[in-house]
Structure 1
Amino acid sequence: MRPDGEAVLEVRGLVKHYPLTQGVLVRRQVGAVRAVDGVSFDLRRGETLGVVGESGCGKSTLGRLLVNLERPTAGEIRYRGEDITRLSGRALKAVRRNIQMVFQDPYTSLNPRMTVGDIIGEPYEIHPEAAPKGSRRQKVRELLEVVGLNPEHINRYPHQFSGGQRQRIGIARGLALRPEVIVADEPVSALDVSVQAQVVNLLERLQAAFDLSYVFIAHDLSVVRHISDRVAVMYLGRLAEVGTDAQIYEHPTHPYTQALLSAVPVPDPDARARRERILLLGDIPSPANPPSGCRFRTRCWKAQRKCAEEVPPLVVPERFRGTGGPAAHVSACHFAAEPGAPGDGEDAT
């Protein structure tokens, strides 16, 4: 489903720092892990926003912040215009009904001591207004059927299902309260490739049927392209580039995005031989001590003095403003350019 322009979630300057402490009798803070450090984006109604990046870049922390499983250090998350970071008690409980999450591990996210019927029906115990007590069993059966499972298996336990089936159970639980937004935190990374396709296709069908908006977090770029309307590339707690699937995959302007895409496996041997692979040197810096200026500069082949002195804003690069072309999307790089453009291969200085 394509978005209709109405913003469901508005994230502004979102920050999550985890304190680093020292001492035994007296604990004092000596630093902080900057897991999420100033992230801003909008999620429109009916849209799928894919969030990609290397492990440790803050994707999962961002997902937990969006559903209020973690409290932000700073920033705003507005749902339908209301800042949910300031809510608590009944007000927060009401909002959580509309923003649900599908977790990465389809086994550890399900209580092994509860039957499938109890797991999917548990949201009705927390939000009894969503379903009368007498109709809950039938609603659970309907949800099982919607996600492609046999309603007669309602009394089985999670260990009696395969990994793909368990993830379908997690999706059914997320759908129980008819939310507007679902945050899917790497929902297919633990599954076989053939099962991944089935689950991704299921998510697309459910989006059309229930008018859902997704934040789809993953590190598999091919899966993200298949399901996403827009893609946000994340690096070390910040967004590096945001655009439509075609803009990001065919016209990337940030060096980090270009390096990520060059690592995607290509099934065609001829195309693979012709493709230029970008090898990044070094490891990701520690989020407890990120580099000054541009956080990617320590691994970037285009880095110059300006990159160490100034934080690049997430804006449309000046050379592409007003062109209306596919490269005219926001990118946090002082020297943003499409691959192969003049100056794109400068050595670091």
Structure 2
Amino acid sequence: MSEVVLAATDIRKYFPITAGVLRRTVGQVQAVDGVSLELVRGETLGIVGESGCGKSTLARVLMGLIPATSGSVMLEGEELVGMKPKRLRQVRRDVQIIFQDPYSSLDPRMTVGNIIGEPFEIHSEVAPKGDRRRQVEELLEVVGLSPEHINRYPHQFSGGQRQRIGIARALALRPKVIICDEPVSALDISVQAQVVNLLESLQDEFGLSYIFVAHDLSVVRHISDRVAVMYLGKMVELGTEDQIYERPTHPYTQALLSAVPVPDPRLRGRREQIVLTGDLPSAADPPSGCRFRTRCWKAQDICAEEEPPLEIRAGGDHPSACHFAEVRVVTHATH
């Protein structure tokens, strides 16, 4: 049996909508609504979906950066939701995060050495004070930067180099889980490949488990063992990399894959394009039943009346949240 290092059950995160002088609550934004997942030690779980689907909010709830409205997050059997701040601070050593924007996530007034070494100030038991500079220099080498850069400032580095600094900071406490919140979306294509390859080599070297949040399906396929597809706060499909990319069953997943560019112009005309109509509904007033039904070509009356559970359907081999899920073989999926 594979060991589950992080497990989330029925996670919900609602943000209040306030109005008036007294700031009364008049509604809720259902950013994440009933998501459950498991992360196995040593694997990468990709989370994909268009902007506004709740990916980053889910990542921050799993990290403990924002509190869950309800649900459970277990790290190696220990409940994080509702944990006392002192204990949460200790446990957070084991779960670190790499942020999306390498330009705003690093303090411009701090040197690289201070940025990477800051976790040692908070968790002093990890590195003795006299040994911290050596450890920071080692971390710089591990992520492909020169130890001689330890006294430089973030503005002296390129975007890809800054993201490597962010990765070194996440590695400093030797975590078990790293949540990658769109870590390459702000980088050039060539630099994206370098950073993804670095993350893969670090995973092998340190035995890390990743949750990799992204909207670029090509990147997710390259790095992920399993992929979860989210739409408007819900998980609509979950499967291995091959299951999601070669045999998707949910209409939303099929539409996402049909929109991925095909590099070879001779193959572009052979793949059926699925064009979704309408805009993404508001998370403050989601549709009844299936949330995707307002943009789905398969929608029928039952889709408005009953919310489809995430389960394996007839003829499928992985769970999908659709009343009319069916396997659609993708001939020219992205690689």
Give the TM-score of the pair, scaled to structure 2.
0.97
Residue in structure 1 matched with residue 144 of structure 2 by the alignment: 148
Residue type of the partner of 2:212? F
Distance in 2 (alpha carbons) for counterparts of 1:252 and 1:204: 25
| C-alpha separation in 2, matches of 1:47 and 1:167 | 21
Moved over 4 A (4+): none
Question: Is 2:196 the partner of 1:200?
Answer: yes
* CA distance 1:135–1:194, shift in 2 (3 Å): same
Q: For residues 197 and 313 of structure 1, what CA distance do their matches in structure 2 show?
A: 36
1:18 corresponds to which of 6, 15, 18: 15
The residue number in structure 2 matching 1:334 is 323
Matched, 1:169 2:186: no
Q: CA deviation at 1:48?
A: 0.1
- The one-letter code of the counterpart of 1:70 is I
Contact kept in structure 1, 2:246 and 2:329, CA below 8 Å: no
| 1:303 aligns to 2:292 (yes or no) | no
Residue type at the aligned position of 1:262: S
Provide the rounded CA distance (Å) in 2 between the counterparts of 1:114 and 1:253: 48
Q: How does 1:42-61 map to 2 (within 5 A)?
A: 42-61=38-57
2:328 and 2:242 mapped to 1: Cα distance? 15
Aligned to 1:77: 73
Amino acid at match of 1:243: G
Give deviations 1:162-191, integer Å, cap 9, x for gaps. 000000000000000000000000000000
The aligned residue for residue 264 of structure 1 is: 260
Q: 3-state SS of the aligned residue for 1:110?
A: coil
Structure 1 residue 5: deviation in Å? 1.1
| 3-state SS in 1 of match to 2:238 | strand
1:9-58: CA deviation from partner (whole Å, max 9, x where unpaired): 1100000000011210x222111000000000100000100000000000
Distance 1:115 1:44 in 2: 35
Aligned-pair CA distance for 1:90: 2.0
Within 5 Å, give how 1:244-259 maps onto structure 2: 244-259=240-255
Query: Is it true that 1:273 corresponds to 2:280 in the alignment?
Result: no
Equivalent residue runs for 1:159-238 within 5 Å: 159-238=155-234
- Residue by residue over 1:100-131, the C-alpha shift from the partner in whole angstroms, topping out at 9 and shown as x without a partner, is 00000001000000000000000000000000
Match of 2:129 in 1: 133
Equivalent residue letter for 1:15: R
> How far 1:153 sits from its partner (Å)?
0.5
Match of 2:238 in 1: 242
Q: What corresponds to 2:333 in structure 1?
A: none
Stretches of structure 1 that go unaligned for 5 or more consecutive residues are 321-326, 342-349
Report if aligned partners of 2:7, 2:37 keep a CA contact under 8 Å in 1.
Answer: yes
Provide the C-alpha distance between the structure 1 equivalents of 2:199 and 2:227, rounded to a whole number of angstroms: 17
Is 2:305 the counterpart of 1:294? no
Q: Deviations over 1:188-233 (max 9, x none)?
A: 0000000000000000000000000000000000000000000000
* Separation in structure 2 between the aligned mates of residue 340 and residue 209 of structure 1, nearest angstrom: 35
- Secondary structure of 1:41's aligned partner: strand
CA shift digits 1:40-89 (9 cap, x unpaired):
01000001000000000000101111111100100000001111012122
Deviation at 1:340, TM superposition (A): 7.2
Counterpart-to-counterpart distance in 2, 1:86 and 1:80 = 16
Q: Secondary structure at the match of 1:96?
A: helix
Report the count of equivalent residues: 330
Secondary structure, counterpart of 1:195 in structure 2: helix
Task: Indicate the residue corresponding to 2:154 in structure 1.
Answer: 158
> Structure 2: which 5+ runs fail to align?
331-335
- TM-score of the pair, normalised by structure 1: 0.93
Tell me the amino acid that sits aligned with residue 194 of structure 2: Q
List per-residue Cα deviations over 1:244-279 (Å, max 9, x = no partner): 000000000000000000000001112111111000
For 2:82 and 2:204, how far apart are their aligned partners in 1? Answer: 31
- For 1:238 and 1:134, the matched residues in 2 are separated by 48
Query: Do residues 87 (structure 1) and 83 (structure 2) align?
Result: yes
Q: Distance in 1 between matches of 2:156 and 2:86?
A: 36
Percent identity between matched residues is 69
Q: Shift of the alpha carbon at 1:339?
A: 2.3
2:60 is matched with which residue?
64
Q: What are the superposed Cα offsets for residues 297-344 of structure 1, whole Å, 9 maximum, x if unpaired?
A: 000000000000001000101x13xxxxxx310000000001279xxx
Could you tell me how far 1:293 is from its partner in structure 2?
Answer: 0.3
Partners in 2 of 1:267 and 1:222 — Cα distance?
12
State the Cα distance separating 1:135 from its structure 2 match: 0.1
Q: Contact between 2:67 and 2:81, CA under 8 Å: does it hold in 1?
A: yes
1:85 is paired with a residue of what secondary structure? coil
In the alignment, what sits opposite 1:346?
A: none
